Amino acid sequence: MDAILKKLFSSEDEELYILDCLSYFMMFMAFVTFLALLFVNVPYGRYASSRYGFPVHVTIAWFIQELPAILLPLALTLSSCAKITHLPNQLLLLMYFCHYTQRSLVYPFLIRGGKATPFISFALAFVFCIYNGYLQTRYLSHYAEYPPDWVTRPYFITGSCLWLIGWIINIHSDHILRNLRKPGETGYKIPRGGMFNYVSGANFLGEIVEWAGFALAAHSIHSAAFAIFTLVVLSSRAISHHKWYLAKFEDYPKSRRALIPFVF
Ligand SMILES: NC(=O)c1ccc[n+]([C@@H]2O[C@H](COP(=O)([O-])OP(=O)(O)OC[C@H]3O[C@@H](n4cnc5c(N)ncnc54)[C@H](OP(=O)(O)O)[C@@H]3O)[C@@H](O)[C@H]2O)c1
């Protein structure tokens, strides 16, 4: 991995500059995605359509598309990683790896009756995982510099707590959704319990809080870009799901909101 990076970049300054550019480009893409999502839903799951390519089996799609988010960072952190001995960097990398180990190695094999993923959605997710995996973990393992007492400062403590709360909400909510279906079923039911008592997009709320907390703890343009991208994609999905539930189920709980409990 070291040899590849040395061929790609003439110096560390150049690589750091490219990492910054990638972050700004991700923010720009978040804005473009925001505009696009005013007109279409990201086409997978209940919004899957054959217009976006041939169907890829849902477990294979999630496993393969998320795998680079763990394999590339592993390769990066096992090769040259100047900052890996620093505690703040270690803890932030641990947060990233906890999430993506669950997402790529556990989540795909628990899915029940999920719709096949259109090839274009699968390919875009695959590319995003390479892009974001490199961006987050290369910065944290090789460049990010924190004061020695960073882990005791309010930004880090608050951000880490938010990350943990968000991760728990995300995993718990995905667990509730999965258990709505008996083996072999593929239809939809009204989710109840946990944060679903308050919002239709409970799993998305969890993930948004998770990466917002990560960005607060990491305090970098790179983590902020990822948090913004996640917010754009998942808030749109939560709103679409909420409208979809209201149209499909007459007895859908009226007090339930789309994404923010009691508010929206
Ligand atoms: N960081 C990011 O940018 C990002 C982007 C996308 C997703 N994610 C995360 O990936 C995970 C999955 O996302 P997703 O968009 O696939 O979530 P989703 O639309 O809520 O679907 C999750 C799973 O639950 C099933 N399901 C959903 N609602 C159901 C209901 N009412 N009754 C029965 N089954 C139901 C779905 O089946 P069907 O396939 O049949 O609909 C699918 O298998 C979430 O944790 C999300 O936060 C993160």
Instruction: Dump the DSSP string for 52-107.
Output: G-SEE-HHHHHHHHHTHHHHHHHHHHHS--TTTTSHHHHHHHHHHHHHHHIIIIIG
* Single-letter code of the amino acid located at 85: T
Q: Give the mean pLDDT of the chain.
A: 97
Closest by Cα among 167, 233, 176, 164 to 200? 176
Q: Are 194 and 172 in contact (CB under 8 A)?
A: yes
3-state SS, residue 252: coil
| Three-state helix/strand/coil letters over 145-206 | CCCCCHHHCHHHHHHHHHHHHHHHHHHHHHHHHHCCCCCCCCCCCCCCCHHHHCECCHHHHH
- Reading the chain (264 residues) residue by residue, the pLDDT tens digits are 888 998 999 999 999 999 999 999 999 999 999 999 999 999 999 999 999 999 999 999 999 999 999 999 999 998 878 899 999 999 999 999 999 999 999 999 999 999 999 999 999 999 999 999 999 999 999 999 999 999 999 999 999 999 999 999 999 999 999 999 999 999 999 999 999 999 999 999 999 999 999 999 999 999 999 999 999 999 999 999 999 999 999 999 999 999 999 999
Ligand 1 site residues (CB inside 6 A) read 45-46, 111, 114-115, 170, 174, 177, 180-181, 188-189, 191, 203-204, 207, 230, 233-234, 237
Mutation test of ligand 1: which of 204, 242, 251 has the most ligand atoms closer than 8 Å to its C-beta?
Answer: 204
Which of 76, 211, 213 has its CA nearest to residue 143? 76
Distance separating the N- and C-terminal Cα atoms of the chain:
45
Give the position, in ligand 1's atom list, of the atom nearest the Cα of 180.
33
pTM given for the model: 0.97
